[in-house]
Every structure is written in structure tokens, then in C-alpha cells.
């Protein structure tokens, strides 16, 4: 289960650069958080708890929650934190490690990644009393030498998206998938959340059967007896509520998996000890290309590339800055969703139907975010 | 088809739209088009259609009952300050001191033909009436399948033509008086607009924005309203002016009628806000209109005189020259049924900022769309385009690519389908 809520900026105008460092739309953010909690997180948590109990504890869920989101929920939705704590006590969820910020910048160098993951893990420990053992990488860019620092230095397992492997293969110019042994890397799929949103069940039972068996078949195509598949349910990207229909679909799919002897649900920490295996060619084939995370969502058009370049330049400058308040600000505003909101898909009004974006167009997203980056860069300079 | 003006003798977007539509429709081999305007100048493009000037109709051989015509006949030529789309009362005020008139009455001579100005003069209502009489005659002479009338000026002509021939009437709403007047609707014009829409078998609107207006403000049955967005005629940018790649001064332009509808005062507000942060920017307001004096006064009051240029009404090469040096084009219209000018700017690879209250905002993605009153956001967008080459570059490239697909051919295709609804599918669709 992935929980990340991007910080919503207010309209930060060019004439406020170097004048005002209050970037947030507090009212809008409160409303957005409250809506996500009520419409998606709470009903999802309840469903997870119900399936866990009905399965006699065989259903297990890993939770990926960014540090910035956890802080946000602590401040504006404490009820959600309580519900998560209950799930921890019940024994049906385990937290994943990740950088504090849901950003690409967090992977710009080993030092930043270590600092941010430690900061994240400390907060998870402080709130839930658990220390995550496996790092999940959501960033579309994560240089190997950077994530290896965490994997080797901290002894953590690592989950990353299949396209990282694909990209690595392309970069090396090899035809075969690279064999990465004993590194604890497992592909991540974001099937469930995307598929569930599209399906309107109605009363057609055959449709449900086709849907669940389709997911199962795809997973079988993807797996070998010893490897691990990670299904990502991305709650915060939903524009539609998690309703009874989605809960029913989720239950049916999970029950199908539970009934199949080929599959077993594991916590991330369990996969770390038992599944450090060689990557095989069966992990991702042509049939499952649609499962891949679209990396282009963040860094395809010129606006995104320029913004990322400015982010890198701010990161470079801020590293030598000892003002902790600026660091805190920077950790909050470097979110890669700011790049996602500049995605060219948002030029089409139809795309807004299924995807959340606080701006009316990528041009407005770019203008507002660049004003904020310019302001922060100016403060770092000063 | 009845229209009030035709290029090159135009004063606004209506003539440009008529050119685009007729040119694209003339490509249909099964479609014979007759376009009637009050006055033909002789320099109009042939365009594959029959162009008739109402002024060319011989009143004696046509046996038109001259008693039906309104007199005295007024021959009016406007030397300057031509403003399209204004209602007659407003125009009278503006024309004072700017017009040369020669009046002849029916008592002086027996007219062989009626001399139309085809413009928007003080005797506009007389011309509209007389045009409708001639139009009725022309409609009776041919075997037409559909009558198509462009904007309220020709709606009476359309109604009479329909009455005499029994053929279906299509009225084309390029603008309503709500748009032109900024809300202070002229009752006479409103009545004529409503009568035309009610008499019509189909009402074509240039945007969904206008369709809503027609439905709610004129109480027209939505089942007979069809939106056909305007297109853009590919520009022959023959002689692009070579500007230094790093010219010292940025240029932000406004091109259009300086009237309340177009929101010129918002342009000045944007300028004031941008100039508070940037010095090397000039603002050009090209156009004329009833608010020009007021806008100039505001510019003086704000101390922005050195940063503003008012070249007046421009066309042809002057537009091209302005666009070649423009970094941002703004259309802050309060109510714009469509707005062809931003499409032309995009063809010149100029980033555009347009009001959300415009029809053109329904068809373009690569423009910044904002509320006309949100001058903070507009100034922000101008600053961002001027300061950030990535934004400017993407808007230029994507915008010019996008506008290539907004063609009059697509508009004509929709219009032909509407004709077919009434003409028994006589037009073979591509």
C-alpha cells in the first residue's frame, strides 16, 4: 500500500520571490488530506483488516508512506495514524523504508539518500515502534551506486520497479536481463490500484471472475517459484473514492490469490531473508509491459527536464548550507509530484478525470513551482 | 449565404471567418455557394463561389418594389475609427467628428441600385433593412437548398429569404450583443438576434461558450444549436523579420478592438504588475475603439507612457511585423465568442495567454488560460514566459504545431453535415 500526499502550494506569484516564504495552501491541503483519508485511506484500512482476519493472518500488507506525508497526517489527520497503529498491533502491516521526501532528488547522492532514509525510519520508529528493513524506490532515477549504499551499508533489502532493470539493461547494451545475485531486488507492479479504478463491476459475476483470474494469470506469467512480486496499491492518486465496489474487487482478488497454492503473502522483512535470488528472464515479459511504471511521467517534456535541472542545482547549493530551516523547507518542496504535475498528459482535460492535479495546466504547474524554487534558491544564496 | 463583410475589406473577425468557411466549403464539388454582401469592392478573392454585392442589383430590371426600401438613402464613408460589431447608438457617438457623409434622398433621384456602405455606420438599421429586401429578391431568383446567415446584421435577410422560398434557414452566431456590449445589451439588436435564432432551423455557434449563451440568454431550444469552432487560415509568413537573437527589450502585445469586450484595461493592469519587477519590457496595444482614450489616460496616470506603444488599427504586414517582435500575446477578453487572433499569434510562434471566457480556449491546449480579471496570474504568466526559456520554447513549438490542426476544413465539414440534415444528404462527405 503506497500512501503519499503531495504538499499543495498556493499561487505563489513572481512578485513574492524573495519576499515571502509561505508556500502552502493550508486550507486546500487540509481539505485534500481530509478527503483522501475519508474517501480512500479509512475504507481501505478497514478492508485490509477484514481480509486479514478472514484469512487467519495469511494476508499481509507492506506500507510505503513518505516522511512528509506521515508528518502531514500527524498534523491534520491523527485519526488515520491511529488506524495505522491498530493495523500494526493487529500484525497485518509492516512499514517499508524510503527517503523522507517522495523525490528524485533524494537519490542524487548516497549522503542525501542515507540522511533522508534515516530521517524517515526514525519517524516510523517513533510513531509505530518499528524499524523498516526493506527500502522501496519510487523514483524513476536511482543510480546503482547510490541505492547500493543503503543496501550494503544498512543491510536493507531493496524493492524497485521493473523498469529500473529494463533501463539498466539498455544502458549496458546487453540483450539479456542482467543477473543481479544476492541483492534482494524484486520487481514492483502497480497493477491493482490502476486496474481497480477502471472496472465498474455492476452485477456481472463473470466480469469479476475474468478480472481476478486475469490478474492471477499475469502474476503467474511474471513469476518464478522463488521470486517475489510486489503489488502496489497507490491510494493517494485516486480521484474516485474507495467504495464498496472496489472493496469487493480487492477482496475477491486477494481471496483468489490466497486460494492458489502458488502464492503466499509475505512481509518485506520475510522476503529479505528468503528470497535473495538471481533475477530471471521470466520476471517481466512482453505480456506484462503495461505493468511497468511510466518513468516518462516525470522527466519527459522540456518543462520537467528544466525543473529537474533547477532542483539539482538547488540541491547542490543547499548541501553546503547549514541552515536547518532551509533544509526542512527543501525536503518538503522537492517532491517529484511537482514534476508529475507538468506531465504533458495534463494538457488534455480528460486526463484530469482519473488523475489528481492541483493546477489547470502543466504551464501553470511549471510557473508556480519555478517561482517557489527561485525563492528558495535566493534564500540559499543569501 | 448572407454576410456583412468579406476580406480584404473587413474590420473584424466576422469577415475572416466568412473567408475561412467559404474557402473550405468551396472544396466540396457538390456544393454551389453564393455569398451575398452589401457591397462588393472588386478586390475580393474568387474563392470558388459566386460573390454578389447587394449594391449591384438593378432595381429597375429586378422590379423590386422601391417603396419597400427605406429612405432617405444615406451614402456614408468613414474615414477612420471603424469599429465592427457595435450597436447603432454606440456607433453614432464614436463617429462624431470622424465621418464624411453625402446624403441623397429618393426625391432627388430615382435609384437604379442601392448604394450600400457595407459598414457599420449611423444608418446601419436602414442598410440592414434594405439588404434584407435585396436578399429576399436574390433568394427568389435561384434554387437554393439552404439559406445561411452570418450574425445579426443578416438575420433579417435570412428570415425574409426563408419566408419567400420556404427553404431551411441556418443562422451562424459569431458573437452576441452580450459579448459586444459587455452586458449592456441594445434592445433592438437583441430583438433581431432572437428573431433570427427563433426563425432558424439550425443555429451554429462558434463555441460551446456561445452555445450556452444562445440557449440561456436567448431561450433557444438546445436541440437546434450546433457548435462549430472556427479554424485558422495558414499564414503565408513570407518575410520573417530577422530580429537579433537577444534583443534588449521584450515585447508583450494586445491586438484587437479597444472596447470593453476585449478587456484592454486588464492588459494595462498586467503591464503595471510586470513592470514593477522587470524594466526591459514594452507593451504594445494595437487597435482602435471606443475605449482607446480611456486606456491611454490610464497609462499616463500610472506613469507607464514610456513603456507603452499605441500604433492604432493595423493589418497585413504591420501585424506580421508586430508578431515577429512579440514575446507574449495576451487576449484578456471579458467575453469572447471565439477569438481568431490568438490562433494567428500561435502561427507566428508567439506564446499566448488567453481569457478562459473565450471560445478559442475550448480548442487550444498550448496556451495559458486564465480568468480575464485575474491580472495577478496573467502577470505571473508573462513574467514566467519572459524569464524562462524552457516555457517560452515549449509554448512556441507546441502552439504552432497545435494550430496547424485547427483548420477551417474541419469547420466546413461540420457545416456541410448540418446542411445535409436539411438538404437530403446532397453533399458528398469526404
Instruction: Give me the total of CB pairs closer than 8 Å, taking one residue from chain A and one from chain B.
Output: 54
**Interchain CB distance below 8 Å, B390 and A303:** yes
More confident residue, A159 or A66: A66
* Euclidean distance between CA atoms A312 and A105, whole angstroms: 7
Whether B66 is in a domain gets the answer: yes
Which residues on chain B are in Cβ contact (under 8 Å) with A303? 390-391, 394
Burial B279-294 (b: 16+ CB within 10 A, else e): eebbbbbbbbbbbbee
Contact between chains at A303 and B379 (C-beta distance less than 8 A): no
Q: Which three cell numbers stand for residue A120?
A: 524517515
- A77 CA: distance to closest CA in chain B (Å): 32
Farthest-apart Cα atoms in chain B, separation: 69
pLDDT confidence of residue B301 = 97
| Average pLDDT value for residue range A253-270 | 86
- Partners of residue A13 in chain B, C-beta under 8 Å: 376-377, 379-380
**Chain A residues closer than 8 Å to B380 by CB:** 11, 13-14, 367, 371
Shortest Cα distance from A348 to chain B (angstroms)? 7
Strand residues in A210-319 grouped as ranges (E): 230-231
Residues of A with Cβ-Cβ distance to B279 under 8 angstroms: none
Share of chain B above pLDDT 70, in %: 84
Nearest to A4 by CA among A98, A117, A83, A85: A98
How confident is residue A159, by pLDDT bands cut at 50, 70 and 90? confident
Neighbours of A95 (CB within 10 A): 27
Tell me the backbone φ, ψ of residue B286, rounded to 5 degrees.
-100, 125
| pLDDT tens-digit map of A187-239 | 555 555 666 666 666 656 677 777 777 777 776 766 666 566 777 777 766 66
Quick check: B368 and A361 CB within 8 A? Answer: yes
**Residue B18 pLDDT greater than 90, yes or no:** yes
Greatest mean pLDDT among A285-294, A353-362, B355-364 lies in B355-364
Query: What is the reported pLDDT for A277?
Result: 36
In a domain, B8, yes or no: no
Question: Is residue B241 domain-resident?
Answer: no
**pLDDT for residue B106:** 42
User: Are A230 and A189 spatial neighbours (Cβ–Cβ below 8 Å)?
Assistant: yes
- If asked whether residues B25 and B141 sit together in one domain, one would say yes
Residues in A touching B383 (Cβ below 8 Å)? 14
Q: Give the minimum alpha-carbon distance from B306 to chain A in angstroms, rounded to a whole number.
A: 22
Q: Where are the domains of chain A?
A: 2-294, 298-381
pLDDT for the residue numbered A189: 54
Determine the residue of chain A that is closest to B386 in CA distance: A367
Other Cβ atoms within 10 Å of B46 Cβ, number: 8
Contact (CB<8Å) B366/A347 = yes
Which pLDDT belongs to residue A289? 39
- List, in order, residues 6 or more apart from A20 with CB less than 8 Å away: A12, A375
Cβ–Cβ gap B384/A302 under 8 Å = no
Q: What is the pLDDT of residues B240-296, one digit of tens each?
A: 555 665 567 999 999 999 999 999 999 999 999 999 999 999 999 999 999 999 999
Residue A184 confidence (pLDDT) above 50: no
Among candidate residues B71, B139, B151, B141, the one with its CA nearest the CA of residue B105 = B71
CB contact under 8 A, A303 and B369: no
Q: Please report the pLDDT score of residue A320 as a whole number.
A: 84
A2-294, which class in CATH? alpha beta
Partner residue opposite A14 with nearest CB, options B277, B369, B394 = B277
The total domain count for chain B is 2
- Residues 6+ away with beta carbon under 8 Å from B393: A302
Supply the pLDDT for residue A145. Answer: 81
Which residues form the domain of B257? 250-404
**Complex ipTM over 0.90:** no
Across the interface, which of A15, A306, A361 has its CB nearest the CB of B390? A306
Say if residues B290 and B265 touch (Cβ distance below 8 Å). Answer: no
Contacts B369 to A, Cβ<8 Å = 360-361
Provide Rg for chain A, Cα atoms: 21
A281 touching B, CB under 8 A?
no
List of residues 6+ apart from A78 with CB closer than 8 A? none
- pLDDT score for B96: 45
- For residues B307 and B413, state if they share a domain: no
Mean pLDDT, rounded, for B322-336: 96
Task: Mark whether B194 and B293 lie in a shared domain.
Answer: no
B387 and B306, same structural domain?
Answer: yes
* Mean pLDDT confidence for B385-394: 98
Which position has the grid cell 523525490? A103
Q: State yes or no: pLDDT of B72 exceeds 50.
A: no
Distance from CA of B252 to the nearest CA of A (A): 17
Give me the CATH number covering residue B284: 3.40.50.2000
The predicted model gives B342-350 an average pLDDT of: 95
pLDDT of res. B150: 97
A370 → chain B, closest CA residue:
B384
The SS3 call for residue A252 is helix
Q: Does A34 touch chain B (CB under 8 A)?
A: no
| Least reliable range by pLDDT among A58-67, A347-356, B208-217 | A347-356
Sheet of strand B147-150, all strands in order from the earlier edge strand to the far edge: B147-150, B169-173, B202-205, B225-227
Whether B277 and A15 lie within 8 Å, measured CB to CB: yes
Q: Are A43 and A233 in contact (CB under 8 A)?
A: no
Q: Are residues B380 and B400 in the same domain?
A: yes
Same structural domain, B385 and B416: no
Q: What is the pTM of this model?
A: 0.85
Closest Cβ–Cβ partner in A11, A14, A302 for B390: A302
Assess whether pLDDT exceeds 90 at residue A50.
Answer: yes
pLDDT band at B429 (very low <50, low <70, confident <90, very high): confident
Same domain, B64 and B185: yes
Among A10, A363, A377, most B C-beta atoms within 10 A, so best to mutate, is: A363
Shortest Cα distance from A167 to chain B (angstroms)?
26
* Mean local confidence (pLDDT), B203-232: 97
By CB atoms closer than 10 A (0-12, 13-18, 19+), residue A119 is middle
What are B150-168's pLDDT values in tens digits?
999 999 999 999 999 999 9
% of chain A at pLDDT higher than 70 = 78
> Which among B273, B369, B380 has the least Cβ separation from residue A367?
B380
B2 in a structural domain: no
Please tell me if residue A366 touches chain B, with a CB cutoff of 8 Å. yes
Residue B245's pLDDT is 58
Question: CA of B229, closest CA in chain A: separation in Å?
Answer: 17
Q: What is the mean pLDDT of residues B194-205?
A: 98
Compute the distance between CA of residue A372 and CA of residue A11 in angstroms, rounded to an integer. Answer: 10
Amino acid at each position: 500500500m503506497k500512501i503519499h500526499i503531495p504538499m499543495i502550494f498556493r499561487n505563489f506569484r513572481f512578485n513574492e520571490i524573495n519576499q515571502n516564504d509561505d508556500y502552502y495552501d493550508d486550507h486546500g491541503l487540509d481539505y485534500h488530506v481530509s478527503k483522501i483519508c475519508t474517501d480512500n485511506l479509512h475504507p481501505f484500512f478497514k478492508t485490509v483488516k477484514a481480509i486479514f482476519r478472514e484469512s487467519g493472518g495469511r494476508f499481509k500488507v507492506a506500507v510505503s508512506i513518505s516522511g512528509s506525508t506521515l508528518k502531514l497526517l500527524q498534523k491534520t489527520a491523527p485519526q488515520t495514524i491511529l488506524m495505522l497503529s491498530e493495523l500494526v498491533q493487529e500484525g497485518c502491516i509492516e512499514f517499508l523504508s524510503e527517503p523522507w521526501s517522495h523525490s528524485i532528488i533524494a537519490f542524487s547522492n548516497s549522503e542525501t539518500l542515507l540522511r533522508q532514509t534515516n530521517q524517515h525510519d526514525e519517524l516510523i520508529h517513533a510513531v509505530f515502534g518499528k524499524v523498516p528493513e526493506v527500502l522501496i524506490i519510487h523514483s524513476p532515477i536511482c543510480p546503482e551506486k547510490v541505492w547500493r549504499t543503503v543496501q550494503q551499508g544498512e543491510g536493507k533489502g531493496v524493492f524497485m520497479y521493473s523498469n529500473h532493470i529494463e533501463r539498466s539493461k539498455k544502458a549496458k547494451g546487453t540483450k539479456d536481463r542482467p543477473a543481479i545475485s544476492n541483492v534482494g531486488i524484486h520487481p514492483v507492479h502497480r497493477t491493482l490500484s490502476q486496474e481497480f479504478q477502471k472496472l465498474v463491476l455492476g452485477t456481472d459475476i463473470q466480469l469479476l471472475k475474468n478480472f481476478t483470474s486475469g490478474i492471477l494469470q499475469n502474476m503467474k506469467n511474471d513469476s518464478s517459484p522463488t521470486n517475489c512480486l510486489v503489488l502496489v496499491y497507490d491510494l493517494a492518486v485516486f480521484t474516485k473514492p474507495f467504495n464498496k465496489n472496489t472493496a469487493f474487487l480487492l477482496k475477491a482478488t486477494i481471496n483468489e490469490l490466497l486460494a492458489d497454492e502458488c502464492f503466499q503473502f509475505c512481509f518485506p522483512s520475510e522476503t529479505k531473508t528468503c528470497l535473495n535470488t538471481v533475477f530471471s528472464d521470466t520476471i517481466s515479459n512482453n505480456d506484462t509491459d503495461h505493468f511497468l511504471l511510466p518513468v516518462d511521467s516525470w522527466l519527459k517534456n522540456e518543462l520537467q527536464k528544466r525543473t529537474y535541472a533547477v532542483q539539482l542545482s538547488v540541491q547542490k547549493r543547499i548541501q553546503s548550507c547549514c541552515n536547518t530551516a532551509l533544509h526542512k523547507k527543501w525536503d518538503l518542496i522537492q517532491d517529484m509530484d511537482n514534476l508529475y504535475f507538468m506531465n504533458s498528459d495534463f494538457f488534455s482535460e480528460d486526463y484530469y478525470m482519473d488523475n489528481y492535479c492541483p493546477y489547470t495546466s502543466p504551464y501553470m504547474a511549471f510557473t508556480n513551482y519555478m517561482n517557489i524554487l527561485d525563492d528558495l534558491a535566493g534564500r540559499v544564496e543569501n | 449565404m448572407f454576410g456583412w463583410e468579406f476580406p480584404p475589406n473587413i474590420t473584424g473577425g466576422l469577415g475572416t471567418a466568412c473567408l475561412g468557411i467559404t474557402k473550405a466549403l468551396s472544396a466540396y464539388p457538390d456544393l454551389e455557394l453564393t455569398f451575398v454582401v452589401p457591397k462588393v469592392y472588386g478586390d475580393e478573392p474568387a474563392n470558388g463561389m459566386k460573390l454578389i454585392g447587394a449594391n449591384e442589383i438593378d432595381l429597375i430590371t429586378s422590379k423590386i418594389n422601391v417603396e419597400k426600401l427605406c429612405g432617405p438613402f444615406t451614402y456614408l464613408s468613414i474615414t477612420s475609427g471603424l469599429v465592427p460589431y457595435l450597436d447603432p447608438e454606440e456607433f453614432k457617438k464614436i463617429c462624431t467628428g470622424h465621418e464624411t457623409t453625402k446624403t441623397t434622398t429618393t426625391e432627388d433621384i430615382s435609384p437604379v441600385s442601392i448604394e450600400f456602405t457595407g459598414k457599420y455606420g449611423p444608418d446601419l438599421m436602414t442598410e440592414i433593412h434594405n439588404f434584407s429586401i435585396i436578399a429576399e429578391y436574390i433568394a427568389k431568383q435561384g434554387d437554393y437548398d439552404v439559406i445561411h446567415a452570418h450574425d445579426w446584421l443578416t438575420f433579417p435577410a435570412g428570415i425574409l429569404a426563408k419566408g419567400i422560398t420556404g427553404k431551411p434557414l441556418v443562422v451562424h452566431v459569431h458573437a452576441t450583443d452580450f459579448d459586444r456590449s459587455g452586458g449592456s445589451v441594445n434592445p433592438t439588436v437583441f430583438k433581431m438576434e432572437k428573431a433570427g435564432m427563433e426563425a432558424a432551423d439550425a443555429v451554429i455557434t462558434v463555441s460551446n461558450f456561445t452555445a450556452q449563451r444562445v440557449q440561456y440568454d436567448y431561450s433557444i431550444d438546445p436541440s437546434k444549436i450546433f457548435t462549430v469552432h472556427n479554424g485558422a487560415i495558414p499564414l503565408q509568413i513570407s518575410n520573417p523579420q530577422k530580429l537579433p537573437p537577444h534583443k534588449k527589450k521584450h515585447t508583450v502585445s494586445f491586438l484587437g478592438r479597444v472596447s470593453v469586450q476585449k478587456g484592454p484595461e486588464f492588459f494595462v493592469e498586467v503591464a503595471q504588475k510586470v513592470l514593477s519587477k522587470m524594466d526591459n519590457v514594452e507593451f504594445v496595444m494595437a487597435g482602435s475603439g471606443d475605449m482607446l482614450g480611456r486606456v491611454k489616460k490610464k497609462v499616463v496616470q500610472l506613469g507607464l507612457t514610456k513603456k507603452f506603444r499605441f500604433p492604432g488599427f493595423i493589418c497585413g504586414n504591420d501585424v506580421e511585423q508586430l508578431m515577429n517582435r512579440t514575446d507574449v500575446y495576451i487576449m484578456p477578453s471579458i467575453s469572447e465568442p471565439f477569438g481568431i487572433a490568438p490562433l494567428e499569434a500561435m502561427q507566428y510562434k508567439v506564446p499566448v495567454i488567453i481569457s478562459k471566457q473565450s471560445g478559442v480556449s475550448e480548442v487550444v491546449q498550448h496556451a495559458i488560460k486564465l480568468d480575464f480579471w485575474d491580472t495577478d496570474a496573467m502577470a505571473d504568466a508573462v513574467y514566467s514566459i519572459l524569464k524562462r526559456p524552457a516555457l517560452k520554447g515549449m509554448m512556441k513549438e507546441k502552439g504552432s504545431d497545435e494550430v496547424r490542426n485547427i483548420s477551417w476544413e474541419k469547420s466546413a465539414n461540420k457545416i456541410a453535415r448540418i446542411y445535409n440534415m436539411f438538404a437530403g444528404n446532397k453533399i458528398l462527405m469526404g
